[in-house]
Amino acid sequence: MNRSLLRALLLLLVWGVLIWLWVGRNQHEHLSEPSDSTDDSEVLGEAGNAEQGEPKGDNVSPGFTVITSRPPPRPGIPASTELLGEARDHLDSRGQEGSCGRYSLIGDMADPVLLESCSLLASELDDTYAERLGVIPLGDPAATIILFNDRQAYWDFSEQQGLSAPGYAAHSKPSRGYTAIWADSRRPKDFAKTLVHELTHLVNRRALGGNLPRWLSEGLADALGDTATPAGIQQLQGLEGAEGQAERLRLAYETEQVPSVARLVTLGSKAFDGGAVSYDYEQSALLVRYLLLDPELASRFRGFLADLAGGAPYSPELLQQRQTVEWAELDHRLQSWLGVRPALPGDSPH
């Protein structure tokens, strides 16, 4: 082979590689792996605060295409033998082993209704997550679900793990491979919501990585958890399942107690829900729900999640670039969707 032909082949090869790199750079499925989170613990408030009611609005989640080709998954982390031993110390007769869908299970809660609900909901969560958010969780669940029959035992275990326990019913630590729940057999509906909310924090790691801001992590968890029932995870529709949160946020907006969306999306983990009076949880839940249901913004929000799944670092700028809506306009749209009464001249906060 002469030198001219060899040089031409090498030039074609170089151009081919450059074109391939350019195309890959402009696709949403970035190939870098997400960075680790320094502290991805999540806490959900008392499950009894969840409220049921009639659906409001007729919004339904539109169809879309999920990602099917991705870099290696962010693996789930199994709970350590030491941590499971600490949990057993607080379980009656050191608990029983079992399974909940593809998750390992230990606990002293033996209610057959809740155990059946646990298996059903855990089994269908991955598929529902992919359908609703447009991102397929990769790899297998490796975490353990710990179910406590006694609330005080749950609180004691939580405090042992460094959490302020009283007033809470569940928490998750994806980086340590577990979800712990006080499973009150008198409240099967609340248990279903709590379980799916907490497991979504674990699934987020396998789908989006471990370094999500609190508002997004909590908002996504509510987008799945608020639609869970003992019979399965229902369709995301209007304000169904989130009526209580919507009413609290609506009243807070009308009395000018809620800061802007622009503030929410920039909050660090310590600042989130850090005020004496905070509506960060409600604002997160309803913002994510609105973005998933709005006919114009839903596909753009899922594109943003696809960016994160592919390895793009989170930033408010990335979200706004994807949404193509200014923060003030997004605030206005969210409030209109919630039915917030516009302030009139002369109005003052109550």
One-letter amino acid for residue 89 of the chain: D
Gap between the Cα atoms of 103 and 128, Å rounded: 16
Enumerate helices (H) and strands (E) in the chain, giving the number of each.
12, 8
**How do beta strands 232-233 and 228-229 pair?**
antiparallel
Tell me which of 37-41, 264-268, 290-294, 318-322 is least confident. 37-41
Best CA proximity match to 176, nearest among 38, 81, 37, 77: 77
Gap between the Cα atoms of 163 and 170, Å rounded: 11
pTM score, two decimals? 0.80
> Over the stretch 141-158, which tens digit does the pLDDT of each residue have?
999 999 999 999 999 999
Gap between the Cα atoms of 69 and 114, Å rounded: 36
One-letter amino acid for residue 171 of the chain: H
One-letter amino acid for residue 349 of the chain: P
pLDDT given for residue 273 in this prediction: 93
User: Once rounded to an integer, what is the mean pLDDT over residues 171-193?
Assistant: 96
Tell me which of 41-50, 85-94, 152-161 is least confident. 41-50
Phi first, then psi: what are they for 98, rounded to 5°? Answer: -170, -155
One-letter amino acid for residue 142 of the chain: A
Angle of helix 188-208 relative to helix 214-225, nearest 10 degrees, comes to: 130
| More confidently predicted of 171 and 210 | 171
The first and second tokens of residue 192, run together, are 């279903």
In order of their start, the domains of the chain are 42-338 (3.40.30.160)
Gap between the Cα atoms of 133 and 136, Å rounded: 8
> Over the stretch 46-82, which tens digit does the pLDDT of each residue have?
433 333 333 333 344 444 444 444 455 578 899 999 9
